[in-house]
């Protein structure tokens, strides 16, 4: 596996192993003494067994990884009854009506945080890191949608810095190359300070917001609610014993703070990394760019100043962007950001799949999205970037359980609707203005494909292999050039 660039995402290795040894359905990887033995599910039907048909518990390693980053009450680290209670509290914040109401806010953030930077880089022609802008933009959007517009510019800058420290430390835990212990200790220290600062800020923020809701100053008419407002107001009807509508109990405050961190972090790298990969894929596929522009003109009019006004009145028009949606889906197929890890269902030691019994005891059970997405029997010509496979006329050919970048079942990503709308709006507001090119790829292009599961490195070089981070991301900071489209 030395053909891959440093710190290639672990899912790439699973896929390569599956292709090399022609492994189908379920296989095992014994990683002793470096980690738990892994049971890799590489067929949609097998993945469904532990996610939708049954909801297998999280593997202990997930909680061990996430708890020091987010706190003990974050939904991503919770299981069983506690997970159900947190799910009840959080899910209403992701109601489709709430998400669609956020469309103008998202558009405003794109105009403020991304468009001016791209215009400036188009003028100079210099190479820049798209990852940096994607992170700033996605954080700006998340902060507005989750917390609202009461966060000052200075507070937002501190929050973003803290999130970056948390991600930076989390990344050291996932790297496949050795990390200098002093560097790791330094990052741990910064992460610790960052989480303390975030906790203090959120404690003040949530306490104020709770008081405003209790005084009836926010949310009476149900409009302009932030996700935090929905969480605070919604806990009333749930099994959350810590909640008391008349007073903010410390245990409930803890739950809210840990989950705000979870939402800020959960939507941060994942959406920003996907955005980077969408721009990368568009840089290599000019015909797809032409199709996107045509769709944007058809649905939102050829006056490219109008989408923001239209989004304010009719955010549901976003759902008419079927080709744009297909482009995002196809990008997420080729570059899914991660996977969940499960353990055996209590009281069971076997998983029955295709009439065979597979031992589950002491296994880390991994439904591997990346491998499923590169299976030629599921997605014909898997390394061809072909958004059309997700259009209505052909989508019927994609089995419904095969595309799973947000995972499926009860624990599927609650932020998927928000992420898809963010990405659709960002594309709508940038693609007709700019052309994107990847910088530095020429020297990395392979002469013959380095792997069995992909040949995308022939065109994209190392970018074909996602880099391990908090989520699997585009490597090297996504260095790009941009030029303005002549109208
Ligand atoms: C392109 C963007 C995104 C991708 C690809 C993505 C993907 C995922 C995946 C694969 C999971 C794990 C599911 C499992 O363990 O089975 C997950 C969980 C989660 N995601 Fe996302 N996500 C994205 C954006 C977001 C956003 C925008 C938010 C919130 C603002 C969010 C919040 C969460 C939370 C809270 C969980 C934990 C759910 C639970 O454990 O019940 N995600 N996401």
Distance CA(391)–CA(385), nearest Å, equals: 13
Which protein residues are within 6 Å of ligand 1, measured from CB?
75-76, 87, 142, 262-263, 266-267, 270-271, 274, 337-338, 340, 405-407, 411-415, 418-419
CA distance 14 to 10: 7
Query: Where does residue 254 rank: exposed (0-12), middle (13-18), buried (19+ CB within 10 A)?
Result: middle
Question: How far apart are the CA of 412 and the centre of ligand 1, in A?
Answer: 7
The reported pLDDT for the residue numbered 217 is 79
Query: Is 472 within 8 Å of 273 (Cβ atoms)?
Result: yes
Q: State the distance from the centre of ligand 1 to the C-alpha of 103, rounded, in angstroms.
A: 19
How far apart, in Å, are the Cα atoms of 71 and each of 149, 192, 231, 256, 263?
25, 12, 18, 11, 12
Task: Among 75, 87, 163, 266, say which to mutate for ligand 1: greatest number of ligand atoms within 8 Å of CB.
Answer: 266
Residue 340 alpha carbon, nearest atom of ligand 1: 15
pLDDT in tens, the chain (487 residues): 678 998 999 999 999 999 999 999 999 999 888 788 999 999 999 999 999 999 999 999 999 989 998 999 999 999 999 999 999 999 999 999 889 999 999 999 999 999 999 999 999 999 999 999 999 999 999 999 999 988 899 999 999 999 999 988 888 876 555 667 787 788 888 888 989 999 999 999 999 998 888 887 776 665 668 999 999 887 766 666 667 777 788 889 999 999 999 999 988 889 999 999 999 999 999 999 999 999 999 999 988 778 888 998 899 999 999 999 999 999 999 999 988 899 999 999 999 999 999 999 999 999 999 999 999 999 999 999 999 999 977 766 788 899 999 999 999 999 999 999 999 999 999 999 999 999 988 777 888 899 999 999 999 999 999 998 888 999 999 999 999 997 6
Index of the ligand 1 atom closest to the CA of residue 273: 1
**What's the pLDDT score for residue 337?**
93
User: Annotated binding residue at 413?
Assistant: yes
In this structure, the residue with its CA closest to atom 10 of ligand 1 is 406
DSSP summary character for residue 208: H
Ligand 1 nearest-atom number relative to CA 419: 27
Distance 3 CA to ligand 1 centre (A): 31
Distance CA(13)–CA(1), nearest Å, equals: 8
pLDDT for 438 equals 95
The length of the chain, given as a count of residues:
487
Q: What is the pLDDT of residue 442?
A: 76
pTM for this entry: 0.95
Which residues are registered as beta bridge partners of 467? 8, 473
d(CA 61, CA 67): 10
Report angle CA 205, 211, 212 to the nearest 5 degrees: 90
**pLDDT at position 220:** 60
Pocket probe for ligand 1: among 262, 270, 469, the residue whose CB has the most ligand atoms within 8 Å is 270
Nearest-5° Cα angle at 175, 266 to 5: 110
Tokens representing 401 are: 């359980």
- Nearest atom within ligand 1 for CA of residue 418: 27
Distance 116 CA to ligand 1 centre (A): 29
pLDDT of residue 457: 94
Q: Hey, what's the torsion of the CAs at 254, 259, 261, 262, to 10 degrees? A: 150
Distance, CA of 475 to CA of 5 (rounded, Å): 9
Longest dimension (CA), the chain: 67
Test site for ligand 1: of 260, 415, 466, most ligand atoms within 8 A of the Cβ: 415
Instruction: List the structure tokens of 429.
Output: 């507001």
Task: Using the mean position of ligand 1's atoms as its centre, give its distance from the Cα of residue 266 in Å.
Answer: 6
Q: In this structure, are residues 25 and 353 in contact, taking their beta carbons and an 8 Å threshold?
A: yes
Residues 307, 310, 314, CA angle at the centre, nearest 5°? 135
Q: What local confidence, expressed as pLDDT, does residue 177 receive?
A: 59
Kindly give the distance from the C-alpha atom of residue 70 to the centroid of ligand 1, in angstroms, as a whole number: 14
Give the alpha-carbon dihedral of 208, 214, 218, 224, to 10 degrees: 90
Domains of the chain as residue ranges with CATH: 10-477 (1.10.630.10)
**Per-residue pLDDT, 170:** 82
């Amino acid at each position: 596996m030395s053909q891959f660039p440093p710190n290639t995402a672990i899912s790439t290795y699973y896929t390569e192993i599956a292709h090399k040894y022609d492994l189908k359905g379920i296989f095992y990887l014994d990683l002793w003494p470096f980690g738990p033995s892994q049971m890799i599910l590489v067929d949609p039907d097998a993945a469904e067994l532990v996610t939708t048909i049954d909801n297998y518990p999280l593997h202990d390693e997930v909680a061990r990884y996430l708890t020091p980053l987010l706190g003990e009450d974050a939904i991503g680290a919770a299981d069983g009854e506690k997970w159900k209670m947190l799910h009840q509290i959080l899910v209403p914040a992701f109601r489709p009506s709430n998400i669609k109401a956020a469309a103008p806010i998202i558009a405003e953030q794109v105009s403020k945080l991304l468009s001016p930077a791209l215009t400036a880089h188009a003028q100079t022609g210099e190479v820049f890191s798209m990852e940096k802008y994607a992170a700033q933009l996605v954080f700006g959007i998340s902060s507005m949608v989750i917390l609202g517009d009461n966060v000052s510019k200075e507070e937002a800058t501190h929050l973003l810095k803290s999130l970056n420290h948390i991600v930076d430390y989390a990344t050291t835990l996932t790297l496949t190359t050795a990390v200098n212990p002093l560097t790791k200790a330094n990052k741990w220290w910064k992460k610790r300070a960052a989480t303390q600062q975030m906790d203090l800020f959120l404690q003040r923020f949530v306490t104020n917001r709770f008081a405003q809701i209790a005084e009836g100053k926010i949310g009476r008419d149900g409009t302009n609610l932030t996700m935090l407002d929905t969480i605070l107001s919604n806990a009333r009807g749930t099994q959350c014993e810590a909640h008391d509508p008349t007073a903010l109990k410390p245990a409930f405050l803890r739950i809210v703070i840990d989950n705000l961190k979870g939402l800020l972090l959960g939507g941060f790298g994942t959406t920003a990394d996907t955005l980077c990969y969408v721009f990368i894929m568009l840089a290599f596929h000019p015909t797809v760019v032409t199709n996107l522009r045509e769709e944007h003109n058809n649905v939102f009019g050829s006056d490219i100043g109008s989408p923001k006004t239209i989004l304010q009145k009719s955010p549901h028009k976003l759902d008419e962007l079927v080709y744009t949606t297909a482009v995002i889906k196809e990008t997420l197929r080729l570059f899914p950001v991660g996977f969940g890890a499960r353990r055996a269902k209590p009281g069971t030691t076997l998983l029955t799949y295709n009439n065979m019994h597979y031992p589950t005891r002491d296994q880390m059970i991994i439904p591997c999205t990346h491998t499923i997405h590169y299976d030629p029997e599921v997605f014909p010509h898997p390394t061809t970037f072909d958004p059309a496979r997700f259009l209505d006329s052909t989508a019927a050919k994609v089995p419904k359980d095969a595309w799973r970048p947000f995972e499926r079942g009860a624990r599927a990503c609650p932020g998927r609707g928000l992420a898809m709308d963010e990405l659709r709006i960002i594309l709508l507001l940038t693609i007709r203005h700019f052309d994107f090119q990847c910088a530095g790829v020429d020297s990395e292009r392979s002469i013959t494909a380095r792997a069995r599961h992909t040949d995308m490195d022939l065109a994209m070089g190392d970018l074909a292999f996602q880099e391990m981070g908090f989520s699997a991301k585009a490597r090297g900071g996504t260095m790009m050039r941009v030029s303005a489209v002549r109208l």
